[in-house]
Every structure is written in C-alpha cells, then in structure tokens.
Structure 1
C-alpha cells in the first residue's frame, strides 16, 4: 500500500487538484501497474482511504458524460507531511523495497536538491554494507573442499549474483548523485514551480 499511497499523494499534489481518472492516467503513463502493482481499483481505494485519513480532501465534483460524477481531490497539510515522510523512506531506506524507490523517483524535484543527495548517499552506504555482508557470508560459509562442513562451493554463485545486482544499482546511484551535484534538473528550493509543486490555496 505504501507505494500506491505515495504515488496517489504525489500525483494529486503535482496536479494541484485531480480526480481518480486523472491519477490513473498519469500512473498508467509511468507504467506503475508493472513496477508497483498499481491497479485501477487500488487507486480509487487509496483516494478514499487517504480522504478518510484527512490526507486528501474532496474539493468538488465534475460531471462526466461517461459515467458517474468525478470527485476532485486536493492534498491537505497533513497529506503534505505524509508525502514527505514517504519520500524520505522511499529514497533513503534500502529495505523499503524497489516499488517504494520507484514510487519516489518521479517526485524527487519536489524536495530540495541537498535533501535528495543526502537520501541517495545514505542508500548507497546501505547497499555497500549489504555487499560487504554478502561477501563475508561467501568467504566464511563455503566449504573449502567437497565433504567439508559448510555450503557447497557452487552456492557462491548465488552470493555473486546478489552482489552483482547490488553493484549495478550502486553504480547507477553514484552516477545519479554526480549528475545532481553537477546541477541536473530543477528542485523545489531552486524553482517553486518545480515538478510536484503543492496546490495553491
């Protein structure tokens, strides 16, 4: 739910005001149904749940020639707080999972540049620690020769695969950090109208 929660809050925030169909169209364009398992029903469920929790508010309804009237939503101040909390978790905590990280990426410019850099560098440090742990497991738990106590030698391929996967992510993260440090993209502290600006009240 957290990835869907972040995506729905982020899209409503980005648009200023939005109804469910607009949120759904944006997320389909980003292929969120593939990498975050966001389904049409989960979007509307999230809108209702976030409204019940006072993180979104209903602004008005729009007539639709294709079906029932559409409820238009806007993020609340409490929703802003939840949005930034989920962004911090999604970008900075490696154990939040790939869906949360992917959900946070479209909205990075809603944060200050230095905040994004801090969170990404924290994620890199966590990944490096994970690689060191995996290497230690490979070095200390593989049997030296057949029949010895420990994991069979071929099991090290599993550890190598884990580390290769993480190494690829770390390489990409380091490249992203360098590009952001070099000034790529515009962030909220540089342009108040950056992608993901909050609604004007």
Structure 2
C-alpha cells in the first residue's frame, strides 16, 4: 500500500483545489519524508497517476513563478472512496507502520464509526501478535541464540506500546475527539 498515494489524495481532498507544489509544501511541512518515506518526486508522480486513474481531476493551470504552468487538481468521488479504503486498510493492518503513520494523518477522512471499527480490528490483531511473541519467548527453538530472543523482547515492548496508543486513541474517538468525515458542516 502506498503511503504517498494516501497522503497526496488526502491533501488534495482537504485543500479542495491544489497544485503539486502546494501538495509537496504541505507534506514537507508535516515532515512526511521522515515518517512516511515521501519523496518530493513521488508526490508529482502520485498526482499524475491519480489523474490517470480518475482519482483526481485536472481543473486548470496557473502560471508558474519561473517555470511551467502548475496544474491544479481536485479529488473525484472515486478518489474519496479510494482514500477511505486506503486509510481503513492501513488502520487494520497491524504489520505496516509506514502506512499507519499516513492513516493517522488522514484519520478525519473516515466517519467516526469507521475509525472506531478499524481501530478495534487493529487492537485485536495486535493482541494476537503479542500473544504469538509471548508464546515464542516462552518456548524458544532449540539452539536459538540469546541475542535473537532479545529481539523478541524489543518487539514485545513495541507491540505493547502500540496497543496502549491504539486503546487510548479508541477511547478519545469514542469520547468525541476530532472532527470526522461525517461531522463536517
């Protein structure tokens, strides 16, 4: 799954109409290159591909400051459905933290019920992963080096931390935190 695609569609959706440089500037201001591995060139590629795929429409051009015209984009209904599907899938996938970071940034694209449901699925998946790690640590393979068992300790702590975060976010959403897609004006 592409974190870049999710973030680009989300910025276009939030902005209404926007050109690639504005999308790039917005994502760089979020430091998305650090937590979602978004590269500036991939932003323009994602916009062009989204236009080819009917996820965004080109709505005109404006003169560039010192270069070519800047194409303006607007999200389509297909694009809205796509971002919802991407965010929901990323929230449910307890194995991919890069797209999770993008999904958190795009969380308001979901309805409150969708976000609550998807976080609940993630929590169940994390609980299963934690149990699997505990079982593995309790019954290590014959000859498994101690330093490899140390990794399992690290992973167990990471899953515990993520579970704590997910449960707290779920509680905040249940309490009405954040303005979600079904709550906009």
TM-score, structure 1 normalization: 0.87
Q: Which has the higher contact order (CA 8 A, sep 6+)?
A: 1
Paired with 2:71 and 2:132, the residues of 1 have a C-alpha distance of 50
Deviation at residue 57 of structure 1 after TM alignment: 1.1
- CA deviations on 1:46-82 (whole Å, 9 max, x unpaired) are 1111111111111000112221110001111221221
RMSD across aligned C-alpha pairs, in angstroms? 1.4
What secondary structure, in the 3-state scheme, does the structure 1 residue paired with 2:54 have?
coil
Paired with 1:110 and 1:154, the residues of 2 have a C-alpha distance of 42
Instruction: Specify the alignment match of 1:25 in structure 2.
Output: 25
Paired with 1:157 and 1:141, the residues of 2 have a C-alpha distance of 11
Paired with 2:183 and 2:22, the residues of 1 have a C-alpha distance of 28
Paired with 1:67 and 1:78, the residues of 2 have a C-alpha distance of 31
Instruction: Specify the alignment match of 2:111 in structure 1.
Output: 112
Which residue, out of 168, 174, 180, partners 1:175?
168
In the alignment, structure 2 segments of 5+ residues that lack a partner are none
Which residue, out of 174, 188, 192, partners 2:181?
188
TM-score, structure 2 normalization: 0.94
Paired with 1:50 and 1:159, the residues of 2 have a C-alpha distance of 40
Instruction: Specify the alignment match of 1:35 in structure 2.
Output: 35
| Alignment length (residue pairs) | 185
For 1:60-79, what aligned pairs fall within 5 Å after superposition?
60-79=60-79
Structure 1 runs (4+) deviating above 3 angstroms are 152-155
